[in-house]
A and B are shown apart, each in its own frame.
Chain A
């Protein structure tokens, strides 16, 4: 079978420019001011809630949420609420015209609770009023008759950690007949034999916390009823096409009657996936019923209880190694605390299992990952998506092993890390594009690893310093989770300016700038010729979800394909107009267009476009790209789960106050192999911004529930995220470029990878500061809060 043309184009471009240095490109890899910077620094109304000022006569929707974490709903009485001033309607499950479900991967999550509630956050009714205040006030008058059930907050009440069998209990999801959501495994080689033959075995139990996205923009959605019975929705959503599907299901409408537009997002980080669907469905339901625009704006508290979190995990790891440090086997059990609904849990669990042995050559592995429902806010997507939760134990284990073996942590990692020509634990051959060794070496060099290890070992007094490393790999895009395609449209206008659209959204990450850079580079026009339109389900083909660090690689390929085809046509025309020897000799350096050998004889870009218009050369193009299907064997956990991997090494340099347990990061070094730096500004912002978010995850962030399942820290003074004063004094950022041939100019993703290994690097640095073998074993969870660190300092007997 011959390759599709889009694959050929991507490969051709990759090989043509493989050896060209990034600095030699005109726009790729340059520090370009992002396309929306001016709108943002002038305070334009670009976020969903801002658009309310353009909407006349809206109604406001408030979600009445359950006060019980686990209960049967026996009846809802909203007669009093209806009498409250300004209240127009109250809707409950029975008012849903289509399917009352917004489950992301499986249909386990009603939009409006019907029989049961499963966590404090489930919506039981929607109150609609002329003002948000009135809707809220009236919400308090909705009476719900509950029959409380036992509340499960600890997954170990539901699953036996030894056998991983489900324990008898009152089911949260009785309709499914089980509270085990999914199981994934890896079975390769002969683990038992390897452990028997190993010189060194280390094992430990690990825990990672829930993490709240805490994007600064709380969720908002506005729906406008359309004359044809359809609806247009502006909503904070990362994935407008998924949102459209959810809304269409809830309303019982065909997809083409539901139009979803994603305005600028004030942060997403994965959090604006499910909740986007949910709020869109709520306002759409109201708008279509009342035939008035409907708006919903979350408070911070509603945002925190109303959207998914990074899954908490509990895991047990065993590693076996030979005396020379060669890894022999990994055995692991990982339990994901799922919270009340599946959300993206099945995919998160899968990504966790795939990455569960780290970026190392591992030939014997036995891993089980299980996702277990509890009565807490559901776990869902969050930058890293299951990988941080396994990278923490893996990278802690490596430091335990290093200590047992008397090796430097860097040497141990270099000994085992994946290189070109190696196979992953799943048997996938990595024939090129593996920059793992280089990232380690660069991080070691930039951080002054060896000098600092020596220096810090000699420090005395109550304040110690420590330096730690963690490495990781991260499969790009969605892999075997589903069909992986993307699209973009490019239309050159008659004045030479360009309109660019993709169905991928910008949640602030700026990946679209990468696509602009690719388009600019290929066409030969400066980025300021290109206007980007918001993601709109009515205007672009489905580009797949904006998740999984897929924008630059997948969106970039679609953009590359469109740009390439346009450029071919324009080259041909220009060659005719200018009399160049071959279309390949055409140089476009807009506004100038000329033949390679005669720069003095030029026409302008605008003239070229005008000629194309008159000669009937199409000035518009759709780019489409589909990734090669991933392979995955459910029984063995083998195959080729992702088409390529991003690699990274993080070195953290911390200060530990032995008397208080307070840990502060002083300096951070982040080195990533992202194939090719397409958007340098965006990449650096991720290397730093991702670190800061990961530092929060490592040191301060966690959710706390009372025994009834009520979240205790639902605002930003009790849920700590890093402030300006917590930022390390110094960052060292570097990019390795081990390009991948099925990506635009070789580029790989960085959105998610930028958080994956931060927490273990900080934990390893803390251990280094404590200089205690016992502490090494005791640092087995995060956040590394002052009380936790203080406790282990005491337990390990570390003295100033």
Chain B
């Protein structure tokens, strides 16, 4: 067993893990971050991508035992409690979500991209989005989501009130 300290979504965890435990299993089954999906376990589908120290990483090909001291962000930690990140709002508004199995990774890849390039062109977006396979074929909508997110971030809109977004796009509490 290996002792590691991980910071996941700004919370510190001290863990004792077998040397070959994959980061995806730590995140999903040990810590309960189910936004991280396993589609292949081989670095192909990209549905397990999380940010490790700001870089997009396939959590199915990463060993937790090697990540002592790392800062990990999953979709659950993209925004503080009660908020939604502009990228998430952009993905809602771009209307591309179908089965949604791939979406968490596309969002994380978008975060990594926009952290580096604030105004990516079409080619760059396609290049980064090649990290994740979407069998429902939502790609063009996800390209659009990146642009929308870039615009929000440029306008300084990073976080949105979660309740407002929910009421606008999902379930409403009805006034008396």
Interface residues of A (CB under 8 A from B): 31, 33-47, 49-50, 52-53, 213-218, 264-269, 299-300, 495-497, 507-510, 526, 528-529, 531, 591, 604-606, 681, 685, 688-693, 715-717, 721-725, 727, 731
Q: How far is the CA of A526 from the CA of B169 in the complex (A)?
A: 10
- Residues in B with CB closer than 8 Å to A47 are 34, 37, 101
- Residue among A49, A52, A215, A216 having the largest count of chain B Cβ atoms under 10 Å: A216
- CB of B94, distance to nearest CB on chain A (Å): 10
- Flag B33-49 by CB within 8 Å of A: 1 or 0 each: 11111111110110100
- Residues in B with CB closer than 8 Å to A35 are 170
Contact A37 B41 (CB under 8 A): no
Q: How far is the CA of A268 from the CA of B135 in the complex (A)?
A: 10
Contact B171 A716 (CB under 8 A): no
- Residues in A with CB closer than 8 Å to B28 are 50, 53
B100 part of interface (Cβ distance < 8 Å): yes
Contact A717 B34 (CB under 8 A): no
Given contacts A216-B39, A217-B39, A508-B101, 7 further A-B contacts (CB under 8 A): A33-B169, A38-B92, A38-B169, A53-B29, A213-B135, A217-B99, A497-B172
Contact B135 A721 (CB under 8 A): yes
Contact A33 B93 (CB under 8 A): yes
Q: How far is the CA of A746 from the CA of B174 in the complex (A)?
A: 32
| Contact residue among B44, B104, B140 (Cβ-Cβ distance under 8 Å from A688) | B140
Q: List 12 A-B contacts (CB under 8 A).
A: A36-B97, A37-B95, A37-B97, A42-B35, A216-B99, A218-B38, A266-B101, A266-B102, A510-B98, A605-B174, A689-B98, A725-B126
- CB of B95, distance to nearest CB on chain A (Å): 5
| Contact residue among B101, B137, B166 (Cβ-Cβ distance under 8 Å from A217) | B101
- Would you list which residues of chain B between 124 and 176 have a CB under 8 Å from chain A? 126-127, 129-130, 132-143, 165-172, 174-176
- Would you list which residues of chain B between 10 and 37 have a CB under 8 Å from chain A? 28-29, 32-37
| Contact residue among A42, A529, A685, A715 (Cβ-Cβ distance under 8 Å from B42) | A715
- CB of A304, distance to nearest CB on chain B (Å): 10
- CB of B99, distance to nearest CB on chain A (Å): 2
- Residues in B with CB closer than 8 Å to A497 are 171-172, 174
Name A590's closest neighbour in chain B (CB-CB): B174
Contact B41 A528 (CB under 8 A): no
Contact A691 B137 (CB under 8 A): yes
| Contact residue among B33, B36, B47, B133 (Cβ-Cβ distance under 8 Å from A723) | B133
Contact B95 A717 (CB under 8 A): no
Contact B135 A214 (CB under 8 A): yes
- Flag B82-109 by CB within 8 Å of A: 1 or 0 each: 0010001001110111111111100100
- CB of A690, distance to nearest CB on chain B (Å): 7
Name A496's closest neighbour in chain B (CB-CB): B174
Q: How far is the CA of A52 from the CA of B34 in the complex (A)?
A: 10
B75 part of interface (Cβ distance < 8 Å): yes
Contact B126 A724 (CB under 8 A): yes
Q: How far is the CA of A300 from the CA of B40 in the complex (A)?
A: 5
A33-B92, A496-B174, A715-B40 are contacts. A40–B133 as well, Cβ < 8 Å?
A: no
Q: How far is the CA of A725 from the CA of B45 in the complex (A)?
A: 14
- Residue among A268, A507, A508, A717 having the largest count of chain B Cβ atoms under 10 Å: A508
Contact B37 A41 (CB under 8 A): no
Name A506's closest neighbour in chain B (CB-CB): B99
Q: How far is the CA of A216 from the CA of B95 in the complex (A)?
A: 19
B74 part of interface (Cβ distance < 8 Å): yes
- Residue among B34, B42, B74, B175 having the largest count of chain A Cβ atoms under 10 Å: B34
Contact B99 A529 (CB under 8 A): no
| Contact residue among B38, B100, B103, B175 (Cβ-Cβ distance under 8 Å from A606) | B175
B71 part of interface (Cβ distance < 8 Å): no
Interface residues of B (CB under 8 A from A): 28-29, 32-42, 44-45, 47, 74-76, 84, 88, 91-93, 95-104, 107, 126-127, 129-130, 132-143, 165-172, 174-176
A528-B172, A724-B130 are contacts. A41–B41 as well, Cβ < 8 Å?
A: no
- CB of A455, distance to nearest CB on chain B (Å): 24
- Residues in A with CB closer than 8 Å to B88 are 41-42
Name B96's closest neighbour in chain A (CB-CB): A685
Name B74's closest neighbour in chain A (CB-CB): A43
Name B98's closest neighbour in chain A (CB-CB): A508
A47-B37, A216-B45, A299-B41 are contacts. A693–B135 as well, Cβ < 8 Å?
A: yes
Contact A716 B44 (CB under 8 A): yes
- Residues in B with CB closer than 8 Å to A31 are 95
Q: How far is the CA of A36 from the CA of B126 in the complex (A)?
A: 26
- CB of A406, distance to nearest CB on chain B (Å): 37
Name B129's closest neighbour in chain A (CB-CB): A724
Contact A38 B170 (CB under 8 A): yes
The 8 lowest CB-CB distance pairs between A and B, nearest first, are: A43-B35, A508-B99, A689-B137, A266-B101, A40-B100, A692-B137, A724-B129, A43-B75
Q: How far is the CA of A510 from the CA of B95 in the complex (A)?
A: 11
Contact B174 A36 (CB under 8 A): no
- CB of B10, distance to nearest CB on chain A (Å): 16
Contact A528 B136 (CB under 8 A): no
Contact A267 B136 (CB under 8 A): yes
- CB of B111, distance to nearest CB on chain A (Å): 12
- CB of B73, distance to nearest CB on chain A (Å): 12
- Residues in B with CB closer than 8 Å to A681 are 95
- Residues in B with CB closer than 8 Å to A300 are 39-42, 44-45
Q: How far is the CA of A689 from the CA of B107 in the complex (A)?
A: 19
| Contact residue among B34, B47, B74, B136 (Cβ-Cβ distance under 8 Å from A689) | B136
Name A722's closest neighbour in chain B (CB-CB): B137
Q: How far is the CA of A495 from the CA of B143 in the complex (A)?
A: 39
- Residues in B with CB closer than 8 Å to A509 are 98-99, 136
| Contact residue among B33, B36, B75, B99 (Cβ-Cβ distance under 8 Å from A215) | B99
Name B145's closest neighbour in chain A (CB-CB): A41
Contact A531 B171 (CB under 8 A): yes
Q: How far is the CA of A267 from the CA of B133 in the complex (A)?
A: 12
| Contact residue among B41, B92, B174 (Cβ-Cβ distance under 8 Å from A529) | B174
- CB of A375, distance to nearest CB on chain B (Å): 26
Name A609's closest neighbour in chain B (CB-CB): B174
Name A304's closest neighbour in chain B (CB-CB): B40
Q: How far is the CA of A152 from the CA of B21 in the complex (A)?
A: 41
Contact B170 A265 (CB under 8 A): no
Contact B174 A218 (CB under 8 A): no
A31-B95, A689-B136, A727-B140 are contacts. A528–B100 as well, Cβ < 8 Å?
A: no
Q: How far is the CA of A495 from the CA of B99 in the complex (A)?
A: 30
Q: How far is the CA of A687 from the CA of B41 in the complex (A)?
A: 30
| Contact residue among A49, A496, A721 (Cβ-Cβ distance under 8 Å from B133) | A721
Q: How far is the CA of A717 from the CA of B176 in the complex (A)?
A: 56
Contact B92 A37 (CB under 8 A): yes
Contact B29 A591 (CB under 8 A): no
- Residues in B with CB closer than 8 Å to A528 are 167-172
Q: How far is the CA of A693 from the CA of B137 in the complex (A)?
A: 7
Q: How far is the CA of A50 from the CA of B99 in the complex (A)?
A: 14
- CB of B129, distance to nearest CB on chain A (Å): 4
A300-B40, A591-B175 are contacts. A216–B74 as well, Cβ < 8 Å?
A: no
Q: How far is the CA of A723 from the CA of B174 in the complex (A)?
A: 43
- CB of B166, distance to nearest CB on chain A (Å): 6
- Residues in A with CB closer than 8 Å to B143 are 724
Contact A716 B140 (CB under 8 A): no
Contact A41 B42 (CB under 8 A): no
Q: How far is the CA of A264 from the CA of B74 in the complex (A)?
A: 20
- CB of B109, distance to nearest CB on chain A (Å): 10
Q: How far is the CA of A39 from the CA of B47 in the complex (A)?
A: 16
A216-B47, A688-B140, A727-B140 are contacts. A34–B97 as well, Cβ < 8 Å?
A: yes
- Residues in B with CB closer than 8 Å to A267 are 98-99, 101, 135-136
- Residues in A with CB closer than 8 Å to B100 are 36-37, 39-41, 46, 264, 266, 508
Contact A53 B92 (CB under 8 A): no
Name A213's closest neighbour in chain B (CB-CB): B135
Q: How far is the CA of A31 from the CA of B95 in the complex (A)?
A: 8
Q: How far is the CA of A509 from the CA of B174 in the complex (A)?
A: 29
- Residues in A with CB closer than 8 Å to B171 are 497, 528-529, 531
A267-B99, A300-B42 are contacts. A685–B32 as well, Cβ < 8 Å?
A: no
- Residue among A43, A49, A269 having the largest count of chain B Cβ atoms under 10 Å: A43
